[in-house]
């Protein structure tokens, strides 16, 4: 067999012009691929910079409608909300998560009442509400108990659905929570409320700035390794995804993002479902630090990393760069 080869084959031909590169591009990044995480805080007219995440602010509920409209106008299809719960409302059992007037529920209602044409995704996990910073409940030996935690997470999910959340995103990594939440949503008549499962969520060093943003970092005792996944594993991610899909997840997420693109690709190849990834707080902070140090061009690094997520198989990406990126893609 003869092989066509240089000089007949010159891969550089198709790279020689911008028009030609555009013509053969396999991956197109658009604002419709982005989910913008927002941090919510108490007060009125309040914008608090998050120290560890340059360019990110916590917003009070009254400012969310405008932010949602701005995002929608930029073509961003969905927001993800996270609360910085006041210290006085945090407790061992995270009961504030079930308060229909907590920051999250008020935030969801405000965005829906603003009329912004945008989806609202809400995390389900107890860490922004507990005095120990864990995603579930602790027993006397400080172990995170599974089934009792699931019972509370189910109530949290229904509370958020009642407030108007479009997508429930369980990020707690308890076993069986997706099925339990799906059952409760069906029983409550919330048939159209979607579940995006944080299916392959790893115990990661890259969540540090997020814990600063929601104010849980100072409280956290120990680590989350008994429920979040070991970053040494990828077979286990497939098993987690299979379980969450069997339990009723509409889409699945891999988290963190860039160091885990191999997981995204394996999940995408194995399952015919929408896969999302979270470019998490530590990834964002790392890039912004490099930008501030003058060693990285923010816009180019942002577009390159977000395009890489899509190339790996993502339907979309949760990213703190969402607004900047959508503006740039214009
Ligand atoms: C809560 C939750 C975390 C993140 C999203 N939801 C933190 C954690 O699990 O400790 C991290 C997001 C980020 O770092 O940007 N369970």
pLDDT in tens, 77-101: 999 999 999 999 999 999 999 999 9
Statement: residue 3 has pLDDT above 90: no
| Average pLDDT across the chain, whole number | 97
pLDDT in tens, 21-61: 999 999 999 999 999 999 999 999 999 999 999 999 999 99
Over pLDDT 70: what percentage of the chain? 99
Q: How confident is the model at residue 64 (pLDDT cuts 50, 70, 90)?
A: very high
Instruction: Give the DSSP H or E segment for 303.
Output: helix 298-312
Residue 166 is given by DSSP the state S
User: Is residue 90 one of the residues assigned to a domain?
Assistant: yes
User: Is residue 49 one of the residues assigned to a domain?
Assistant: yes
Specify the ligand 1 atom closest to the Cα of 173: 16
Q: For helices 103-114 and 146-163, what crossing angle results, to 10°?
A: 30
Q: How confident is the model at residue 253 (pLDDT cuts 50, 70, 90)?
A: very high
Identify which of 135, 129, 121, 137 has the alpha carbon closest to the alpha carbon of residue 169.
121
Contact 121, 78 (CB under 8 A): yes
CB-ligand 1 contact for 207 (6 Å cutoff): yes
Statement: residue 163 has pLDDT above 90: yes
CB-ligand 1 contact for 124 (6 Å cutoff): no
Mean pLDDT, rounded, for 281-293: 98
From 172, 210, 220, 255, give the residue whose CB has the most ligand 1 atoms within 8 Å, as the site to mutate: 210
Mean pLDDT, rounded, for 59-78: 98
CB-ligand 1 contact for 260 (6 Å cutoff): no
Instruction: Report the greatest alpha carbon distance in the chain.
Output: 76
pLDDT in tens, 111-138: 999 999 999 999 999 999 999 999 999 9
User: Is residue 217 one of the residues assigned to a domain?
Assistant: yes
The pLDDT score that the predictor gives to residue 221 is 85
The pLDDT score that the predictor gives to residue 125 is 98
CB-ligand 1 contact for 212 (6 Å cutoff): no
Ligand 1 mean position to 311 CA, how many Å? 24
User: Is residue 100 one of the residues assigned to a domain?
Assistant: yes
The pLDDT score that the predictor gives to residue 311 is 98
- CA atoms lying within 13 Å on the CB side of residue 166: 12
The pLDDT score that the predictor gives to residue 134 is 97
Q: How confident is the model at residue 4 (pLDDT cuts 50, 70, 90)?
A: confident
User: Is residue 316 one of the residues assigned to a domain?
Assistant: no
Contact 61, 294 (CB under 8 A): no
The pLDDT score that the predictor gives to residue 174 is 98
Count other C-beta atoms under 10 Å from residue 293's C-beta. Answer: 8
Mean pLDDT, rounded, for 309-323: 98
Pairing of the two strands 78-83 and 119-124: parallel
Ligand 1 mean position to 7 CA, how many Å? 52
Mean pLDDT, rounded, for 224-244: 98
User: Is residue 325 one of the residues assigned to a domain?
Assistant: no
CB-ligand 1 contact for 249 (6 Å cutoff): no
Contact 168, 195 (CB under 8 A): yes
Ligand 1 mean position to 47 CA, how many Å? 21
pLDDT in tens, 193-228: 999 999 999 999 999 999 999 999 888 989 999 999
Ligand 1 mean position to 322 CA, how many Å? 17
Structural tokens at position 21 = 């590169």
Residue 237 is given by DSSP the state H
Ligand 1 mean position to 251 CA, how many Å? 18
Instruction: Give the DSSP H or E segment for 327.
Output: helix 322-329
The closest residue, in CA terms, to atom 7 on ligand 1 is 207
CB-ligand 1 contact for 213 (6 Å cutoff): no
**Catalytic (active-site) positions:** 201, 255
User: Is residue 172 one of the residues assigned to a domain?
Assistant: yes
CB-ligand 1 contact for 320 (6 Å cutoff): no
The pLDDT score that the predictor gives to residue 2 is 63
* Residue 2 or residue 241, greater confidence: 241
Q: Which domain holds residue 109?
A: 28-251
The pLDDT score that the predictor gives to residue 271 is 98
Contact 280, 210 (CB under 8 A): yes
Contact 97, 157 (CB under 8 A): no
What total of structural domains would you count in the chain? 1
User: Is residue 302 one of the residues assigned to a domain?
Assistant: no
> Which CATH number characterizes residue 128's domain?
3.20.20.70
């Amino acid at each position: 067999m003869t092989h066509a080869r240089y000089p007949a084959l010159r891969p550089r031909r198709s790279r020689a012009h911008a028009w030609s590169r555009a013509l053969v591009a396999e991956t197109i990044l658009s604002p419709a691929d982005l989910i913008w995480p927002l941090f919510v805080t108490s007060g009125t007219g309040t914008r608090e910079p998050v120290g560890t995440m340059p360019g990110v602010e916590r917003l009070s509920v009254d400012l969310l409608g405008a932010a949602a409209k701005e995002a929608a106008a930029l073509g961003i299809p969905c927001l993800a909300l996270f609360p910085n719960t006041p210290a006085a409302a945090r407790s061992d059992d995270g009961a504030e998560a079930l308060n229909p007037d907590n920051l999250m529920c008020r935030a969801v209602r405000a965005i829906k009442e603003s009329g912004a044409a945008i989806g609202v995704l809400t995390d389900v996990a107890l860490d922004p509400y507990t005095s120990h910073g864990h995603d579930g409940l602790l027993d006397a030996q400080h172990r995170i108990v599974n089934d009792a935690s699931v019972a509370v997470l189910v109530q949290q999910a229904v509370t958020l659905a009642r407030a108007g959340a479009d997508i429930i995103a369980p990020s707690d990594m308890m076993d069986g929570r997706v099925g339990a939440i799906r059952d409760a949503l069906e029983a409550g008549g919330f048939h159209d409320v979607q579940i995006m499962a944080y299916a392959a969520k790893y115990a990661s060093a890259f969540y540090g700035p997020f814990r600063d943003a929601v104010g849980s970092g100072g409280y956290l005792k120990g680590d989350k390794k008994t429920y979040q996944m070991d970053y040494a594993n990828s077979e286990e991610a497939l098993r987690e995804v299979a379980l969450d899909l069997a339990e009723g997840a509409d889409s699945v997420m891999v988290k963190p993002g860039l160091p885990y693109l191999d997981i995204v690709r394996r999940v995408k190849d194995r399952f015919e479902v929408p896969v999302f990834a979270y470019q998490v707080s530590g990834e964002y902070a790392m890039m912004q630090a490099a930008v501030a140090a003058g060693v990285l061009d923010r816009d180019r690094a942002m577009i390159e990393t977000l395009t890489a997520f899509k190339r790996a198989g993502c339907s979309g990406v949760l990213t703190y760069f969402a607004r900047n990126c959508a503006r740039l893609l214009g």
